[in-house]
Structure 1
Amino acid sequence: MHRPGKGKTPRRPGPRKASNTEKDPVGVYCRIRPLGTEDEECCVEMISSSTIQLHAPDGLKANRNGEYKEMQYSFKKVFGINTTQMELFEDIAKPLVEDLIHCKNGLLFTYGVTGSGKTFTMTGSPGEGGLLPRSLDMLFNSIGPFQAKRFVFKPDDKNGMEIQSQVDALLERQKRDNQPLPTVPKTPSSRQKAADPEFEDMISPEEACKSENVDDDCCYSVFVSYIEVYNNYIYDLLEDTPFDPIRQKAPQSKILREDQNHNMYVAGCTEVEVKSTEEAFEVFWKGQKKRRIANTQLNRESSRSHSVFTVKLVQAPLDADGDHILQDKNQVNVSQLCLVDLAGSERTSRTRAEGSRLREAGNINQSLMTLRTCIEVLRENQMCGTNKMVPYRDSKVTHLFKNYFDGEGKVRMIVCVNPKADDYEETMLVMRFAEMTQEVEVARPVDRPICGLAPGRRHRNQVFRDELSRRLEERGSPSNVDDPDLLNQLMESLPALPPCELVDPSDDHTLPRLIEVLERRHRIRQMMSEHFNKTASTMKSMLQQFDSQLGAKETFIHDQRSKLSEKDKVILNQRAEMDRLEKKTKTLEYKVDILQKTTGMYEQDKRSLEQELETRGNRLQMELSEKRRLEHRMQGMVTDTKLKWEKECERRVNAKQLEMQNKLWVKDEKLKQLKAIVTESSSGRPTERPEKPERPSRDRDCNVGPKRSASPSPLPGNVFKTRSGGQAVQFTDIETLKQECPTGPSRKRRSGSAEGPAQMEDIENRAPMASTSTTVYQKRRKP
């Protein structure tokens, strides 16, 4: 479960989107780069045009006891090692450029392990241009004849565009042309020129392409920007910093802001207006030389930052005459295509990075982990219907592109794979992330509304201009008179000269005829001269009028320049105020950042304490439940033990009572025998020993008791009531066992015989033994 980002600020509610918005999944493509050497072990196999299979290396299988299995992953399309840059552009980037021309945004980024070919896919090399130069070439080939002049569109520093009038744009162009060119301290060497490839070397003319669906009733302008995200800080790669040979100034990081349409942008980022592919590629290469790269154990030129090259296309419709741009800011459409080259994920155990390289690797991995977390939360919200907060703010990369995942354009991802066996584990993690990304859906961008003017305005205006130019060229005059065909008619009405040969001095016919023709020609020439004079006066008056208009325009321009100088002063003051406010804003943002970090630390401590409290509470609940369970168990054991001891005590009491009764009975018998002996010895005559009363036998018939006398006697035992309402008798008599020899004489002796004491001793010795043979009889009586 992810933890929410630190220091979240509540987002202002934007325009609510319709619930029935159509969505498209994120397009994920895979490109496999060739191996470095032929004998190198390969762990990636292309199964089909949309599926690849990963094989675990032999050494890894042996070390992990066959834990890794062959896994297959599917993509929208898989490009093998023989895929050209042109084929890759046709399938992935070309549709995004088409959408860019039709006012739709797009995001294309490369993802993969370090050294997997991401920078080559995006930039390319001489003769094999990547997606970025090919996208620029297609864009300018499509809108080339329909571009507006420079400074007609101008950024407003709030992620928007303003339209300037023709005069303001002309003045700004003149102001720029009059600025001195920056002095170059040193002429670039041939080695540096070789390191800066020209655009002509990237793409051959045969591979050039263009879009045929371009609205020719619009004017277009292209603005490019180039930034990098290094250690989670944003830096402008196109920013011109003054060169100081003594103390070089470190580049200033930029901040992210949200415009009025809730779109994220980099505040203060340089946006350069370009008019050709060569110019745009030159700007890109200028920023590319400032990008941070380093030599690591895995890549000789490893990117240490995430680079973002943004192509912003501005278009506005022409007016009804098709001459100028419609001066309506609401009709200006701005679309952008972001080409992102993400830094590769890497393990420090393999790169053996230390110091700053270790910190760079940690920040790279952290930003990529945040991207994965955002994709996971988006996927969970869409598939499970949850409404968890996506932690865009945890990283500058995800915060910058959150609008695309919220439905502001198409998203395309190219997963670059290095098939060597050493990258197997990292490649497997990349494949899992790519598989998860394909399940995220992004809202399909809608078409922008088109102005209500009639189409074909530019074409009609161009046809009219061509026809007017042709007619002026045919007439040889920049202006017309009242009768434009008069000059042609006069030229055609000139009479031809008659033959002038005089054969006879008296010829009166030829000379008069010649004089007549010459007079006619003279009159026609006078008419032509008058016509030319009239035309000249007309032209002179037009020139005077034009001069007066020109003077008025110069006066107007002078007034505008004075106003412009005043506005420049106001702008300078406002810029100074803006700089002051910017510094104050940065200070406050720094304080806010510190407070956010402090709040994050407190929130983390709070979560840890809450978690510890919850753990202790659960432990206490478990202890209480265990205690209650033990109490119930002990109560049951106490009850069982109590019942057991009560029964045991009752049994022992009964046994003790029986034992005491037996002892009492034995004493009574001894006393009777002793009394009988004493009585016999005192009388001096032998008397027969009284017979010992018989004890009840062990017969099961309890209805017959021992016979002690003829008269009825009470029952020899205890009587108690039963549950059924009857009575039970507990006999307490003692059974005495006697043994007689069947062949010997009778054991009866007289009182005077010598065996009397022996017989008494025998009785005394046998009496205790009788207690061991005690039997309790119970008799139930019915009432």
Structure 2
Amino acid sequence: YFYRKGKPPRRHPPKKPSSNQTDPVGVYCRVRPLGAEDEECCIEVISSTTIQMHTPEGFKTNRNGEYKETQYSFKKVFGVSVSQMELFEHVAKPLVDDLIRGKNGLLFTYGVTGSGKTFTMTGSPGQGGLLPRSLDMIFNSIGPYQAKRYVFKTDEKNSIEIQTEVDALLERQRRDNNLSVPKTPSTRLKADPEIADMIKPEETSKSDGVDDDSSYSVFVSYVEIYNNYIYDLLEETQEDAIKPKWNGGGTPVRQNTELIPPQSKILREDQNHIMYVAGCLEVEVKSAEEAFQVFWRGQKKRKVANTRLNRESSRSHSVFIIKLAQAPLDADGDNVLQDKNQISVSQLCLVDLAGSERTGRTGAEGTRIREAGNINQSLLNLRTCIEILRENQMCGTNKMVPYRDSKITHLFKNYFDGEGKVRMVVCVNPKTDDYEETLLVMRFAEMTQEVEVARPVDRPICGFTPGRRHRNQQHQVCFPLLLPSLPSCELTDPHDDITLPRLIEALKNRQRIKQMLMKDYNKIANMMKPVLQELDTSLISKDNFIQEQNGKLIEKDKIIQGNKAEIERLEKKTKMQEHKIDILQKTTKIFEDDKRSLQHELETREQRLQRELSEKRRMEQRMHGVISDTQFKWEKECERRVNALQLEMQNKLWVKDEKLKQLKAIVTESKTPGRPEPPPRQTQSASPSPVPVCCLKTIMVNGILPIQSLNGHFSQPGQEESCVLEQIRPRHRRSCSAGGEKWVDHKPSSSMDLGTVLQPVIPNAIQVSAPSEKALSKCDRYVLTHQEVASDGEIQTKLIKGDVIKTRGGGQAVQFTDIETLKQELTTCSVAVAMRAGSNLGPGLEHHAVTKRRKP
């Protein structure tokens, strides 16, 4: 391994203690009671671990149109009659036991809006939820073993520090001096509920895993994730500016006059690579009542809104974090051991997720739509993370889990990576209106159960002798008269002249008693010395025997040391071989990556070469087409020019012939006897002799009269046009279809006769039901008969006509030029009108009248 010059090596995160054992995510299901007894139910609890969903009417899922019934299994299913106490015993109590033993835990409720998530987490008076019962169990277990306030102190880097008793006392006095007059309960508009109102006395719980030789302290914090931003619910805001500020110990302090709006918090990673909310207020609490009041103070700030489905719908994800710090006592069992490395910090996160909802059902508008979108997006990202975790574990893939796409998944990524147990309570509403959303929730819960989370490792136990606290308490009970208890040493007033003299007097008295005890101890020790000397002589013989045994043990130890040295040598050799294997694997991986990249580059170049070859072939074909088109165009142009020159030459020859004929006629007429002499030759203004009509008819080519060829015969410009128009009436040009052109009559076999008066008749046509290359090669024109239903419900026939042209490749193509429509009208008309309508049809078709009775 080589490092870049000038840069230190990258520090890798410390390895966590490996645990080969894993536990699946525990998923529990709780069914909410129906609001009305006559309401239809779509969920049925068939066992303690299975529920069955009945598809309501209107939701047919299989191909036969039958209603589908699906069963889903969970770790445990709680029906509508299950109490809050029974739910806590199965779900949250094991997590509280792990918290006291130094292990982390995550518990969150999941479901659609109005399914009972907040009731499951918080509860109501007389029916406390998971959160107040967890607080009650924690303080019932560690109550006698709590440290004094401020002995454990939090810092801003998600760690706990230890202070001495004196430092903690000074900090308490400093904070107590800043106290203001607390608010009286009479000023409250509505009294906050107490934890005694939430939990009945007979329902309290206690853990058996408390270490008597440790000291404990509890810190709580409360945040919400609203629109993917994190806000501290215990932080003072504008609404709390007139209220007394919390000092972290359950007492209000001096009022803050500045109005500070709530600021969003950011997530950070501590030195142990644990995610935490930076700048979040952590309050040290000493009782369940105090902790519940802190929770309720933040609960009143949580974002809720009134929707069509829920009167107080949660618009954010709330996270209540209970952090338990514990450290062992010293060897005497009196004070907390002043060693930061011996502190064990565990936390339990209770998350109340906002419910997924559809805006169409909730009637949300404006801000509520944006809130619902952010809630659904965060829940969707949670599902995505669970799916990728499941795929990585089941398929052996190594896809990156997108924890950072949402704050709720980024905050709890450590739990899914093996920092503690994960439990989920799926709350469902059995009414049929929530069937679609409940079905998605069930599928997600079923998938979540397949995710495995590494089991946390037990924390190491301090090496001191157990029972130190109990032994110290017995010592104080056995000698109550010898060592009197110290009076109270708290200073409530800087001018107090009684507490310190009293404490000094008590310490002097204890010192005097201690000296008396030392004298008695020395007297008893002198009496015990002869007895000990006798015991020494009896022990010498035993020492010889022990020395012999020790010699044998030394020999055995040498053998063991030799075996250990051999084992260490083999372990070093094994590590060296493993190191070489790692290097070879990394080298192989590098070569494989290079091979894949070169193969990819080769494939890319081959694809590029293929594209270039195909492009070259297309260009060649295109150029061949352009050359053939150009050649064909120029051949046509040359043919047209040759025909024009031939026509011009023919016209000139014809003019000369006509002039010779006229001259011959004049000469013959002058020589004919009995005829008068011809009149003298006129000037240019005289009108020439008219041209015979038959001659003009013979020179008409394709219906075009070349009048320009007569310019040489007339004496005045423009005279030839008037002469032609007066002497010759040009014949009407006939349709091309009546000539030598052939038609392809494409008439599908499904065509039907409408019974109209005018019917199309195409002589010399090849009738086909499907176009063929052979038929098109023999014909010049093409007509297609197409029938369709008009807007008025009648059937109309369309005649689509076109020209058959040759393509560059030697085939035939049809270029459509005209469309004629035949339609049957509701009113009757005469044959003359039909004939006139038929005469407007396009060229190339002739029609004959058929007398037929129309429909009325």
Shorter-chain TM-score range: 0.5 to 0.7
Residue from 432, 456, 471 that aligns with 2:443:
432
> CA offset at residue 144 of structure 1?
0.3
* Residue 363 of structure 2 corresponds to residue 367 of structure 1: no
Residues 62 and 394 (structure 1), Cα distance of their counterparts in 2 relative to 1, 3 Å cut: closer
Residues 425 and 163 (structure 1), Cα distance of their counterparts in 2 relative to 1, 3 Å cut: same
> CA offset at residue 250 of structure 1?
2.5
> CA offset at residue 170 of structure 1?
0.3
SS at match of 1:48: coil
SS at match of 2:219: strand
> CA offset at residue 236 of structure 1?
0.3
* Residue 237 of structure 2 corresponds to residue 241 of structure 1: yes
Structure 2 counterparts to residues 321-332 of structure 1, below 5 A: 321-332=332-343
Structure 2 counterparts to residues 609-628 of structure 1, below 5 A: none
> CA offset at residue 180 of structure 1?
2.5
Residue from 191, 214, 217 that aligns with 2:210:
214
Q: Aligned partners of 1:60, 1:620: CA distance in 2, in Å?
A: 55
* Residue 256 of structure 2 corresponds to residue 231 of structure 1: no
Q: Aligned partners of 2:325, 2:386: CA distance in 1, in Å?
A: 31
> CA offset at residue 177 of structure 1?
1.4
- Deviations, residues 344-376 of structure 1 (Å, cap 9, x unaligned): 000111112111100000000000000000001
Report the residue type matching 1:124 in the other structure: G
- Deviations, residues 144-169 of structure 1 (Å, cap 9, x unaligned): 00000000000011000000111110
Report the residue type matching 1:371 in the other structure: L
SS at match of 1:469: coil
**Hey, what does 1:690 align to over in structure 2?**
none
- Deviations, residues 448-506 of structure 1 (Å, cap 9, x unaligned): 01110000000000000111115679xx999xxxxxxxxxxxxxxxxxxxxxxxxxxxx
- Deviations, residues 579-616 of structure 1 (Å, cap 9, x unaligned): xxxxxxxxxxxxxxxxxxxxxxxxxxxxxxxxxxx99x
- Deviations, residues 78-104 of structure 1 (Å, cap 9, x unaligned): 000000000000001000000000000
Report the residue type matching 2:96 in the other structure: V
**Contact conserved, 2:228 with 2:406, CA < 8 A, in 1?**
yes
Residues 328 and 275 (structure 1), Cα distance of their counterparts in 2 relative to 1, 3 Å cut: same
SS at match of 2:60: helix
- Deviations, residues 388-431 of structure 1 (Å, cap 9, x unaligned): 11100000000000000000000000000000000000000001
* TM-score calculated relative to the size of structure 1: 0.59
SS at match of 2:327: strand
* Residue 409 of structure 2 corresponds to residue 410 of structure 1: no
Q: Aligned partners of 2:228, 2:184: CA distance in 1, in Å?
A: 33
Report the residue type matching 2:342 in the other structure: Q
Q: Aligned partners of 2:37, 2:103: CA distance in 1, in Å?
A: 44
Residues 429 and 212 (structure 1), Cα distance of their counterparts in 2 relative to 1, 3 Å cut: same
> CA offset at residue 179 of structure 1?
1.3
**Hey, what does 2:312 align to over in structure 1?**
301
**Hey, what does 2:201 align to over in structure 1?**
205
**Hey, what does 1:134 align to over in structure 2?**
133
Q: Aligned partners of 1:545, 1:623: CA distance in 2, in Å?
A: 100
Residues 543 and 105 (structure 1), Cα distance of their counterparts in 2 relative to 1, 3 Å cut: closer
**Contact conserved, 2:237 with 2:261, CA < 8 A, in 1?**
no
Residue from 447, 456, 459 that aligns with 2:470:
459
Residues 625 and 67 (structure 1), Cα distance of their counterparts in 2 relative to 1, 3 Å cut: farther
* Residue 120 of structure 2 corresponds to residue 124 of structure 1: no
**Contact conserved, 2:25 with 2:448, CA < 8 A, in 1?**
yes
SS at match of 2:93: helix
Query: More helix per residue: 1 or 2?
Result: 1
Residues 463 and 188 (structure 1), Cα distance of their counterparts in 2 relative to 1, 3 Å cut: same
Q: Aligned partners of 1:49, 1:126: CA distance in 2, in Å?
A: 27
Residues 199 and 244 (structure 1), Cα distance of their counterparts in 2 relative to 1, 3 Å cut: closer
**Hey, what does 1:266 align to over in structure 2?**
277
**Hey, what does 1:771 align to over in structure 2?**
none
Q: Aligned partners of 1:618, 1:221: CA distance in 2, in Å?
A: 68
**Contact conserved, 2:151 with 2:165, CA < 8 A, in 1?**
yes
Structure 2 counterparts to residues 682-697 of structure 1, below 5 A: none
Q: Aligned partners of 1:227, 1:213: CA distance in 2, in Å?
A: 29
Residue from 345, 366, 376 that aligns with 1:355:
366
Q: Aligned partners of 2:225, 2:610: CA distance in 1, in Å?
A: 49
Report the residue type matching 2:361 in the other structure: R
SS at match of 1:60: coil
Q: Aligned partners of 1:210, 1:94: CA distance in 2, in Å?
A: 9
Report the residue type matching 1:377 in the other structure: I
**Hey, what does 2:391 align to over in structure 1?**
380
Residues 626 and 134 (structure 1), Cα distance of their counterparts in 2 relative to 1, 3 Å cut: farther
Report the residue type matching 1:212 in the other structure: D
Q: Aligned partners of 2:612, 2:45: CA distance in 1, in Å?
A: 58
Structure 2 counterparts to residues 708-727 of structure 1, below 5 A: none
Higher relative contact order (CA 8 A, sep 6+): 1
Residues 67 and 378 (structure 1), Cα distance of their counterparts in 2 relative to 1, 3 Å cut: farther
**Hey, what does 1:14 align to over in structure 2?**
13
Residues 247 and 180 (structure 1), Cα distance of their counterparts in 2 relative to 1, 3 Å cut: closer
Report the residue type matching 1:239 in the other structure: E
Report the residue type matching 2:43 in the other structure: V
> CA offset at residue 244 of structure 1?
5.3
Report the residue type matching 1:31 in the other structure: R
**Hey, what does 2:77 align to over in structure 1?**
78
> CA offset at residue 623 of structure 1?
12
**Hey, what does 2:836 align to over in structure 1?**
none
> CA offset at residue 17 of structure 1?
4.9
Report the residue type matching 1:118 in the other structure: K
* TM-score calculated relative to the size of structure 2: 0.54
- Deviations, residues 186-231 of structure 1 (Å, cap 9, x unaligned): 95445x22xx211111001100110122101000000000000000
> CA offset at residue 312 of structure 1?
0.4
**Hey, what does 2:171 align to over in structure 1?**
172
Residue from 310, 326, 329 that aligns with 1:318:
329
Report the residue type matching 1:40 in the other structure: E
SS at match of 1:463: helix
Which structure has the bigger radius of gyration?
1
SS at match of 2:479: helix
Q: Aligned partners of 2:382, 2:188: CA distance in 1, in Å?
A: 41
Structure 1: stretches of 5+ with no match in the other structure: 1-10, 479-538, 550-613, 632-783
Q: Aligned partners of 1:431, 1:420: CA distance in 2, in Å?
A: 15
Q: Aligned partners of 2:188, 2:279: CA distance in 1, in Å?
A: 33
Q: Aligned partners of 2:206, 2:294: CA distance in 1, in Å?
A: 22
Residues 457 and 73 (structure 1), Cα distance of their counterparts in 2 relative to 1, 3 Å cut: same
* Residue 100 of structure 2 corresponds to residue 101 of structure 1: yes
SS at match of 2:438: helix
Report the residue type matching 1:89 in the other structure: F
RMSD: 3.4
SS at match of 1:253: coil
Residues 361 and 622 (structure 1), Cα distance of their counterparts in 2 relative to 1, 3 Å cut: farther
User: Aligned pair count?
Assistant: 490
Structure 2 counterparts to residues 37-56 of structure 1, below 5 A: 37-56=36-55
Residue from 404, 419, 422 that aligns with 1:393:
404
**Hey, what does 2:157 align to over in structure 1?**
158
Structure 2 counterparts to residues 660-679 of structure 1, below 5 A: none
> CA offset at residue 241 of structure 1?
3.4
**Hey, what does 2:662 align to over in structure 1?**
none
**Contact conserved, 2:42 with 2:53, CA < 8 A, in 1?**
yes
Fraction of identical pairs, as percent = 74
Q: Aligned partners of 1:464, 1:173: CA distance in 2, in Å?
A: 29
Report the residue type matching 1:204 in the other structure: K
Q: Aligned partners of 1:263, 1:240: CA distance in 2, in Å?
A: 26
* Residue 279 of structure 2 corresponds to residue 280 of structure 1: no
Residues 362 and 544 (structure 1), Cα distance of their counterparts in 2 relative to 1, 3 Å cut: closer
Q: Aligned partners of 2:95, 2:53: CA distance in 1, in Å?
A: 30
SS at match of 1:40: coil
- Deviations, residues 644-688 of structure 1 (Å, cap 9, x unaligned): xxxxxxxxxxxxxxxxxxxxxxxxxxxxxxxxxxxxxxxxxxxxx
